[in-house]
A and B are shown apart, each in its own frame.
Chain A
Amino acid sequence: MHRPLPEDPMIRSLIAQAKRAQISRRAMLAGTGAGATALALAACSTGSEEVSPAEDQSESDKTLNWANWPLYIDEDDDGNYPTLQRFQEESGIEVNYLIDVDDNNSYFAKVRDQLALGQDIGADTVCLTDWMVNRWIQLGYTQELNKDNIPNAANLVASLQDPQFDPGRVHSLPWQGGFAGICYNTDETDEVRAVSDLWRPDLKGRVGVLSEMRDTIGVIMLEQGVDISGDFSADEFNAALDVFREQVESGQIRNVRGNAYSEDLVNGDTLAAICWSGDITLLNYEAGYEKWKFVLPEGGATLWNDNFLIPIGSPRKTNAEKLINYYYEPEVAAEVALWVNYITPVEGAKEAALAIDPEVAENQLIFPNAETLANAKIFRGLTAQEENEFQSSFQSILLGS
């Protein structure tokens, strides 16, 4: 590469210039790199400073964004939401109902960065499950509810008034709840009454379980006599996890899935499953008869609730509170519960439902009595360390390692 430079001074200077330009190009790349690092660092700053709630503009802004799960509100044949339409007419608030939540974890992963900065996440109220609400409250991502705007909050059933994650319901109010229990295909297999029945030889490879750790491990722990709402130890959790691992590795459990577990029941891959109460009602409705039977397992079922909360960056808090207040009217709650087949947290809704549909009002999965509820437990809130530890052991089984 050491060719002598040409004689011509003009060409010499051109070459020299080109060489310098080369170096400067490298410098430019390095500069870009440094700039990128700075930008990346800025993007990575965790922003752990306290953020303050957004200013409420409900007075001037009569709109509301509500993020919720699929099939989780009454719907008529035209795809309208009758109860929500009435709220809009009564209150003059235009509600934008978003079916944005498909999974607690992935929804949180989507909005966590904006929450950390105190920004509007595009939802003024969102319904999330107890343990996720626990996380939001701990991280300071929710606004306090002004109960003066929600007089109907007094209709909340007594058992849900003081959850461990939100004593006195300062930040959250339940929307709907449900059981995780077990179900089986009545055409193809014998009765299943307890979780241990799922490990029967004739069900080998035909059992589905939920990828929601608290429900799957929860019912196994209950079977082992552990109170999941109490102060159980890591050993007790791990004992249930061992049972789960053994059944996955032996191939007894066919698959571990989220919402889609119902597909496996329908196409016959699984004959029995750990499942959610409301889904089975819907599947049977589609099948036209009680093809799948939902059972509250002998050891006990888990009980969970999805709760309204108001994200820290929402500028329409009062509007959200009005909406929550509306859904705490017993008549409205009854109408929703009869459609979604989940448990309503509103006192007096059962009486209201009796007037609409007496038969459904007796359904223990929708309007459970005290006896049924005594057999169902709420998984207690986990500390950050427990959450890390338990979830990573659970996930490592799901990932086969």
Chain B
Amino acid sequence: MAFGAFATATTAAEPVARRKSPIALLLLLPGLLYLGLFFLVPLFSLVITSLQQPDPVLFGQFENAFRWENYVTVLEQYWPQTIRAFGFAALATLFALLIGFPLAYFVGITLRRWPLLQALALVLVIAPFFISFLLRTIAWKQLFSDEGPIVGFLQALAILPGDAAITGSAFAVVFGLTYNFIPFMTLPIYTSLERLDLRYVEAGGDLYASPRSTFFRVTLPLAAPGIMSGTLLTFIPAAGDYVNASREFLGSTDTAMIGNVIEANFLVLQNFPAAAALSLVLMAAILILVSAYVKRSGTEDLL
């Protein structure tokens, strides 16, 4: 179709030599096909599913309709989990930043003089990826268990009351999210800091700026692209995460996030319209939040 459009354009205009060669389009074709097949089709299918209505007789069967009430119903029913999801994701992003930034600074700047140590530290940041995050999350569940070492230690110090528990609490879920996303935060910040020209920092000192002021006026702005992509890489998947908050991992009945609701609707309740509507709500909410964030930070050009 696109080729056809080009053809008519040429015949309509004067017979000028066409410089637009179809090679560019040919090269784009695999990407476009991929996007069409694996992004657009599922997206449309999701929209259509989200508007379906249940078959009156058969369980788990749906027929096409235009039931936009599905959206109202799921929002009414599941708004606490939706808000909780974004709250947990925001907290996890904040904590991951507080932990990830110093870590990236240490690896990217402090260790710069010892390349071997730097490489080693970088491997240590990435090393957790070598083990499935499901296993690592289950391991945390064991460590946090009532008769595990952490609860026992905190109880011995009387920091935790005798009957307190960690697994299944909001703390455990935010902890798990933070832990699992620290590498996603650290690596982009590291790449920006690693390229940071230290002469800027020196110049700051030469111009009588305090280290503090140099950090906030020089280092931090130069690390902004990394912080930006780090926070996005953490926040977006964390908001939709359904593993950490799952009852089978670190969560309980009080910690369900929107991902868990979608999972329950897809797999257990087989209520596909509700699950599809929630997925679209999640997608739209993330899109709005992220674009507001990008706009506000005024860093579109950094991305």
Residues of A within 8 A of B (CB): 9-10, 13-14, 16-17, 20-21, 23-25, 27-28, 31-33, 35-37, 39-41, 43-44, 46, 48, 103, 105-106, 108-109, 112, 135, 138-139, 204-206, 211, 248, 253-258, 260, 263-264, 267-269, 384, 387-388, 391-392, 395-401
Chain A nearest CB, measured from B275 CB (Å): 10
A397 CA to B254 CA, complexed, in Å: 9
How many angstroms between the C-alpha atoms of A135 and B58 in the bound complex? 9
Q: How far is the CB of A9 from chain B (nearest CB, A)?
A: 7
Pairs across A and B, CB under 8 Å, 14 listed: A10-B16, A20-B5, A24-B9, A39-B41, A39-B45, A40-B41, A41-B48, A44-B48, A253-B253, A254-B252, A269-B165, A396-B77, A398-B253, A400-B254
Contact of B165 among A108, A112, A205, A384 (CB under 8 A): A205
Distance in Å: Cβ of A252 to nearest Cβ of chain B: 12
Interface contact A17-B269, CB-CB below 8 Å: no
B214 contacts A by Cβ under 8 Å: no
* CB pair B44 A109 closer than 8 Å: no
- Per the bound structure, the CA–CA distance linking A392 and B271 in Å amounts to 9
Does B255 contact A400, Cβ atoms closer than 8 Å?
yes
In this assembly, does B147 line the interface, its C-beta being within 8 Å of a C-beta of chain A?
yes
CB distance from B88 to the nearest CB of A (A): 13
Residue of B nearest to A47 (CB): B61
The stretch that binds A, out of B195-203, B217-225, B232-240, B258-266, is B258-266
Asked if residues A395 and B142 are in contact (CB atoms below 8 Å), the reply is: no
Q: 8 closest pairs, A vs B, by CB?
A: A24-B5, A268-B147, A40-B45, A40-B44, A384-B59, A267-B145, A36-B40, A399-B256
Question: Is B16 touching A401 in the complex (CB atoms < 8 A)?
Answer: no
Q: Is the CB of A112 within 8 A of B247?
A: no
CB-CB < 8 A to A258: which residues of B? Answer: 248
- Which residues of B2-41 have CB atoms within 8 Å of chain A's CB atoms? 2, 5-6, 8-10, 12-14, 16, 18-20, 32, 36, 40-41
Judge whether A399 and B261 touch: CB under 8 Å: yes
Beta-carbon contact of B45 and A269 below 8 Å: no
With a cutoff of 8 Å between Cβ atoms, the chain B residues found around residue A264 in the complex are 145
B175 within 8 A of A: no
| Dominant secondary structure of chain A at its interface with chain B | helix
Which of A17, A139, A384, A399 is the one whose CB lies under 8 Å from B81?
A399
Which residue numbers of B lie inside 8 Å of A, CB to CB?
A: 1-2, 5-6, 8-10, 12-14, 16, 18-20, 32, 36, 40-45, 47-49, 52, 54-55, 57-64, 77-78, 80-81, 141-142, 145-148, 163, 165, 167-168, 247-248, 252-256, 260-261, 264, 266-271
Q: Determine the chain A residues whose CB is within 8 A of the CB of B252 once the complex forms.
A: 254-255
User: Is A105 within 8 A of B270, CB to CB?
Assistant: yes
Given contacts A31-B1, A33-B40, A40-B45, contact A392 B145 (CB under 8 A): no
Which listed residue, B13, B61, B62, B256, touches A400 by the CB 8 Å rule? B256
Q: Do A17 and B142 form a contact, CB below 8 Å, given A36-B41, A48-B55, A387-B59?
A: no
Say yes or no: A400-B80 contact (C-beta < 8 A), given A257-B248, A392-B271. yes
Cβ-defined partner of A267 (8 Å) among B42, B146, B267: B146
Q: In whole angstroms, what is the CA distance A254 to B1 when docked?
A: 60
Whether B168 pairs with A254 at a CB distance below 8 angstroms is: yes
Q: Which of B5, B55, B61, B247 contacts A398 (CB 8 A)?
A: B247
User: Knowing A392-B269, A401-B77, A401-B80 touch, does A44 contact B148 (C-beta < 8 A)?
Assistant: no
Q: For B254, what are the chain A residues with a Cβ–Cβ distance below 8 Å?
A: 400
Which residues on B sit within 8 Å (CB–CB) of A384?
57-59
Q: How far is the CB of A256 from chain B (nearest CB, A)?
A: 6
- B residues within 8 A CB of A40? 41-45, 47-48
Q: How far is the CB of B128 from chain A (nearest CB, A)?
A: 22
Q: Are A400 and B253 in contact (CB under 8 A)?
A: yes
Collect the chain B residues with CB atoms within 8 Å of residue A28's CB: 1-2, 5
The reply to whether B59 and A20 contact each other, CB–CB distance below 8 Å, is no
Instruction: Evaluate whether A268 and B9 lie within 8 angstroms (CB atoms) in the complex, with A48-B55, A401-B77 already known.
Output: no
